[in-house]
Amino acid sequence: MLEALTIYNFALIDNLALEFSAGLNILTGETGAGKSIIIDALGMTLGERASAEYIRAGAGSARVEACFSFPPGHPVAGALADQGIAAQDNSLVLARELNTSGRNVCRINGHLVTTTQLKEIAAFLVDIHGQHQHQSLLNPGTHLSFLDALGGTEHLALVAEVRQLYQRFLNLKAALKKYAASEQERARRQEVLSFQVKEIDAAKLRSGELEELKDEQRILAQQEKLVTLVQAAYGLLYGAQDEAGALAALSRAQALLQEAAAIDKRLASLETAVAGARYGIEEAIPELRHYQENFSLDPGRLEAVEDRLHLIGDLARKYGATVEEILAYREQAACELEELARAREDGAGIKEELSATAGCLAERAAALSRARRELAAALETELTAELADLGMAGACFKVAFSYEEDPCGLPWQGKTLRPGPDGFDRVEFLLAANPGEPPRPLARIASGGELSRVMLAIKTILAAYDSVPTLIFDEVDAGIGGRAAQAVAAKLAEVSRYHQVICITHLPQIAALGDVHFQISKAVRAGKTFTEVAQLTPAPRIEELGRMLAGAKVTAAVRQHAAELLAAAAQLKKTLDLKRSK
């Protein structure tokens, strides 16, 4: 609830601090004293439109601070957390400063915020009704929430379920759209990768093959010369055409050195060296013979090797410099192909889940719509009766349902409807203020006083369900008196048992029911006009009620009437408190 309001240099107010209480807070005073200025100042802290004209003459800026408290678990705590602002001991301070240049500075618990953020948080705390632009009833977008609040916990759980299903429905549609948008690109990519994998697989590459082929190419390119060289070497080592080769010469040399070493042992090492050379040649000769016997002159093989090297070269230009890099690319391509195949399976899964979610959303939205129509029938009956009590006998309240057909929507009662976060329904409150008139939207036909009484009637019905802690009624009594005034007073008192109510009134019947009573007055000091506020104790309160009853001249009889009003009000509040406790 609103704990305190501090106002600096706002219109006729230079410096004002008000402390409000739970229950019904009454503001009274002469016309023009500045009662609505206080509501305008509060509205500025709630994010409403502010103008430099609000700044008191001669001041450079105006500032308003509002301190609120709220119960644990109240929705405003989550809203604050979403904005990264900590709630301190379940309380918060909204502050707004306006300077002559029109610049705004908004703060929540000392954190700089935008006007939009300020307004979002304020919506959880205060609802203002009266002769103002910012009435929630004028916005059809709020009507559905009023209706849903009547349904209680089970109904609100269905509302939450539909919202969750709708969000899931949107997410799946977005995922499917994204999938479909990339389907053609995936198909192209899949075709390219499949071709590449097949091309590499068809080559049947082996690691190290490129080096082997290059060696073989070099050999085959000079195979005739190679054979000639090997044959000549073989002849020199083994001998040919009656010519002794190196092996025979080494054998004779070894024999000679062996005989010489028997005479001079210093030649033994030379004999050993020659013997080693002889043994090496003996081993080389059969190898050379085998090489010659098995060497095949195959001109076609060179062409095959060169074709193979050309094939690998083509693959290397596309996929990697070496056979190993080509094979690595092939593995990567194969893995990507598997991912693309899984993506196709994912797309089928998204379609299947979307279909199931759409069916569930249609079923639950239809159930919600049926439940709302039952609530609407009850609200129409109750609200029409409440309006009669509030001096609007003959008024007729209606809840109008509408929906939007969409060929791409969901099926319901033989139609295809576009769903939203609240299901299929669009709801707007209609009012026929007088008998014989057709019901029309509230914003088009209701006066400020009528609209305030409609809101008061709704708040009376929803008193136990509405989570907004503070309600402000600005001149809800406009154009009424007698029994209707007494009924309005009783309704305000009843609502104040569930919410903090701040009410500006000209009716003593309403003022007498206040739990706290503030008197607003104007004073002139040093040639300047000031708005002043006093919280009334019992004796001054009787005087103020007397003024409201009889005008400037307050007699003993008027004071007695005022005292009787206070006594009757006290008895009514006891009855209401007892009723609530049950």
Q: What is the pLDDT of residues 81-108, one digit of tens each?
A: 888 888 778 889 999 999 888 788 999 9
| Contact present, 65 and 3 (Cβ < 8 Å) | no
How, if at all, do strands 61-69 and 2-10 pair? antiparallel
Range(s) of the domain holding residue 98: 1-125+469-582
Higher pLDDT among residues 312 and 448, named by residue: 312
Cα–Cα dist 76/468, whole Å: 9
Range in 295-309, 323-337, 427-441 the model is least confident about: 295-309
Which residues have CB under 8 Å from 112's CB, separation 6+?
A: 105, 106
Residues 232 and 239: their CA atoms lie apart, in Å, by 10
46 has pLDDT over 50: yes
Torsion of CA 380, 381, 383, 385, to 10 degrees: 150
- 516 versus 231: the higher-pLDDT residue is 516
Confidence at 479, pLDDT banded by 50, 70, 90: low
Q: How far apart are CA 156 and CA 146, in angstroms?
A: 11
Residue 384: inside a domain: no
Q: Are 507 and 518 in contact (CB under 8 A)?
A: no
Mean pLDDT of 22-48: 87
**DSSP three-state, residue 10:** strand
Rounded Cα gap, residues 429 and 130, in angstroms: 17
Whether 216 is covered by a domain: the verdict is: no
Binned at pLDDT 50, 70 and 90, residue 177 comes out as: confident
Tokens 């769903």 label which residue? Answer: 419
- Rounded Cα distance between 235 and 248, Å, is 12
Distance CA 18, CA 34 (A): 14
- Whole-number pLDDT of residue 242: 61
Burial (0-12, 13-18, 19+ Cβ within 10 Å), 552? exposed
Residue 22 Ramachandran class (φ > 0 left, ψ -120 to 50 alpha, else beta): beta
Residue 541 identity (one-letter amino acid): R
Give domain status of residue 555, yes or no. yes
**What is the pairing mode between strands 405-412 and 415-417?**
antiparallel
* Confidence grade of residue 72 (pLDDT, cut at 50, 70, 90): confident
Summarize the confidence of residues 494-513 as an average pLDDT: 89
HSE (CB half, 13 Å, CA atoms) of 151?
22
Give me the number of domains the chain comprises: 1
- 330, containing H or E segment: helix 323-389
Asked, for residue 535, whether it belongs to a domain, the answer is: yes
For residue 239, which amino acid is it? G
User: Edge to edge, what strands does the sheet with 91-99 contain?
Assistant: 13-19, 2-10, 61-69, 91-99, 104-108, 111-113
Q: Does residue 308 sit in helix, strand or coil?
A: helix
Confirm if 562 and 546 have CB atoms less than 8 A apart.
yes
Residue 35: count other Cβ atoms within 10 Å of its Cβ.
Answer: 24
DSSP 420: B
Q: Which contiguous run of DSSP H or E holds residue 220?
A: helix 209-221
User: Rounded to 5 degrees, what are φ and ψ at 466?
Assistant: -70, 130
Two tokens at 471? Answer: 């309600």
Least confident of 128-142, 296-310, 326-340, 530-544: 128-142
Q: What is the pLDDT of residues 518-555, one digit of tens each?
A: 999 888 887 788 888 899 998 999 999 999 888 878 88
534 occurs within a structural domain: yes
Half-sphere exposure of 158 (CA within 13 A, CB side): 19
As a whole number, the mean pLDDT across the chain is 84
SS (H, E, C) 132-201: CCCCHHHCHHHHHHHHHHCCHHHHHHHHHHHHHHHHHHHHHHHHHHHHHHHHHHHHHHHHHHHHHHHHHH
- Quote the tokens at residue 107: 């703060």
Q: Which of the four pLDDT bands, split at 50, 70 and 90, describes residue 6? A: very high
Residue 131 has phi, psi (to 5 degrees) of -85, 60
3-class SS shares of the chain: helix, strand, coil, % to 5: 60, 20, 20
Q: What CA–CA distance (Å, rounded) separates 41 from 351? A: 54
Residue showing tokens 């809840």: 399
Q: Which residues pair with 531 in a beta bridge?
A: 522
**553 alpha carbon, distance to own chain's centre:** 62
Cα 469 to the center of its chain, rounded Å: 26
Q: What is the CATH number of the domain that holds 101?
A: 3.40.50.300
- pLDDT value at residue 133: 43
Whether the predicted pLDDT of 134 surpasses 60: no
pLDDT one-digit tens code per residue, 463-477: 766 778 898 887 677
Contact 425, 459 (CB under 8 A): no
Decide if pLDDT at 293 tops 80. Answer: no
What are 530's strand-pairing partners? 523
**Distances from the Cα of 332 to the Cα of 117, 338, 479, angstroms:** 50, 10, 82
Contact present, 6 and 65 (Cβ < 8 Å): yes
Helices (H), 9-142: 35-45, 75-82, 115-122
Q: Comparing C-alpha atoms, which of 233, 278, 272 is closest to residue 252?
A: 278
Q: Is residue 435 part of a domain?
A: no
Residues 112 and 102: their CA atoms lie apart, in Å, by: 17
Q: Is residue 543 part of a domain?
A: yes
Q: Judge whether 270 lies within some domain.
A: no
CA 147 to chain centroid: 26
Q: What is the mean pLDDT of residues 8-18?
A: 89
Burial of 571 by CB count in 10 Å (0-12 exposed, 13-18 middle, 19+ buried)?
Answer: exposed
> What is the rounded CA–CA span in Å between residue 474 and residue 456?
11
Q: 529 with 497: CB under 8 angstroms? A: no
Q: Indicate if the pLDDT at residue 435 is higher than 90.
A: no
Task: Please report the pLDDT score of residue 464 as a whole number.
Answer: 66
Secondary structure (3-state) at 94? strand
**Whole-angstrom Cα distance, residue 230 to residue 217?**
18
pLDDT confidence band for 421 (50 / 70 / 90): very high
Share of the chain above pLDDT 70, in %: 93
pLDDT of residue 159: 93
